[in-house]
Structure 1
Amino acid sequence: MEFQDVMAQRHSVRAFTDQPVSDALLNELLARASGAPSWSNTQPYQIAVARGEVLESLRRELPERFDQLMALQRAPMVKKLKALVTKKGMPDGDYRPVVKYPDDLQPRRVATGHGLYQLLGIGREDKQARHEQMAANFRFFDAPVALFVFVHEGLGVYSALDAGIFLQSLMLAATDEGLGTCAQGALALWRSPLEKHFQLPGQYKLLCGLSLGYEAQETINQFRPDRQPLDSLLIAEK
């Protein structure tokens, strides 16, 4: 595709078909993304790729952990305190993807969530439907490939910056090949399930995940959140 078409067509895909992604194509996409620039060419990120039985194992375990976490939030305070002490049912990721949004950013978050649920016909009070939609993150939206991005702790925020450039390069390369992607901060909630399947280096911290595959013709994939206008993006001169 023309570059501007790739940029325009890339969007977050939240429903995938079961069509497999070949090893050759996946490796080609990763090779293309590896050309992304980084701080002094340090390339301070590593990628864990889950497919096949490893992916299915994670697809079973992560939704269960999410259900337990949500149940814990509704539990009596005594049970919550016990969980804090024992860590049972609690996230064990390296970073905390669930944060309190700053006041100036919260309206965009709210508008995005409202727009998505409105498209799906999920009401504000329909907590079960909202829970199920959030849980779909941990099934990778049925994608045939899930990638987990780890960043070197030694470069701090610059590792995350470089990983972001890598991710955008990967997502654009996938779009150019007719595939869809969805970058997911929620997949950083738990590290221990990944330790069962991958030899994770200790100095690399789990930043986020990415679902990848062929886009399904589902309503949810029609969602396109608004972007801030150029006059809001640019900082005015004094």
Structure 2
Amino acid sequence: MEFEEVLEKERAVRKFTDQRVSEKTVRAILADAQRSPSLLNSQPWRAYVASGDVVKEIRAKFKKLTESGEQPREDFASVMKVEWDTYPSQNMATMSDTLNYFLRGEMKQFDEAQITLFNAPTLVFLTIPKKSPAWSIFDLGAFAQTLMLSAVDHGISAMPAHAIVRYPDIIRQYMPIGEDEAIGMGIGLGYKDKRASINDYRSVRENLDRVVKFIK
């Protein structure tokens, strides 16, 4: 697949079908991600892949906690900013408004998607050591983006989401992730449900001239 096509198709998918993704395909995607750059070749990332009954059990426990009002307790809480600068705040507000308009007030689709972990048949949990410099977070982001672009190239859709890692203690009940590792990101992999209208939404991107400055 040409890069422009991959980039065009790489969109957050908020509802997947029940069709499973083969382990062979997931391995190929992760092999591509492993080629991502990192500071001093530190390669701080680790990936833990859940599928089948494990995903169903994690989803059920997450759903129960969320519906009971349990607050998120993600490992990255100490490095996640609660207050946002004006510029990103405006972009988030724009997304909220446009998404609500697109769904014609049916925002329950958006909430349900997060509660059900997007019905993703495969969940990839990405970690870095808790004893890591801030650069390792950047490296993890590079790994995640390469993973998602590779997924598209393999005909697989992806959804990176905070909702997938909000209860790390539940994740550790099923995945061999040590307490010395911080679960930083969760990515759902699967096949896009073409019948779900929420998957047709596309966020608005800023004009290039607002985010890029050429100095000569």
Letter in 1 for 2:180: Q
SS in 1 for 2:174: coil
Q: For residues 192 and 52 of structure 1, do their structure 2 counterparts lie closer, same or farther at Cα, with a shift above 3 Å needed?
A: same
SS in 1 for 2:87: coil
Cα distance between partner residues in 1 of 2:67 and 2:46:
29
Q: Which residue of 1 aligns with 2:113?
A: 136
Query: Are residues 1:116 and 2:116 paired?
Result: no
- Compute the displacement of 1:135 (Å): 4.1
Letter in 2 for 1:234: V
Query: Are residues 1:91 and 2:72 paired?
Result: yes
Contact 2:15 2:113 in 1 (8 A): no
SS in 1 for 2:24: helix
Structure of higher CA gyration radius:
1
Cα distance between partner residues in 2 of 1:195 and 1:154:
18
Q: Which residue of 1 aligns with 2:197?
A: 219
Q: Which residue of 2 aligns with 1:37?
A: 37
Deviation string 1:50-80 (CA, Å, 9 cap, x unpaired) is 11111000110111111222xxxxxxxxxxx
Structure 1 residues without counterparts, runs of 5 or longer: 70-88, 124-128
C-alpha RMSD of matched pairs (Å): 1.9
Contact 1:119 1:219 in 2 (8 A): no
When normalised by structure 1's length, the TM-score is 0.83
Deviation string 1:140-193 (CA, Å, 9 cap, x unpaired) is 211111111112223332111111111111111110111110110232321110
SS in 2 for 1:104: helix
Contact 2:33 2:143 in 1 (8 A): yes
When normalised by structure 2's length, the TM-score is 0.91
Match of 1:232 among 203, 210, 214: 210
Cα distance between partner residues in 2 of 1:62 and 1:143:
13
Match of 1:185 among 162, 176, 188: 162
Work out the number of aligned pairs and report it.
213
Letter in 2 for 1:41: N
Structure 2 residues without counterparts, runs of 5 or longer: none
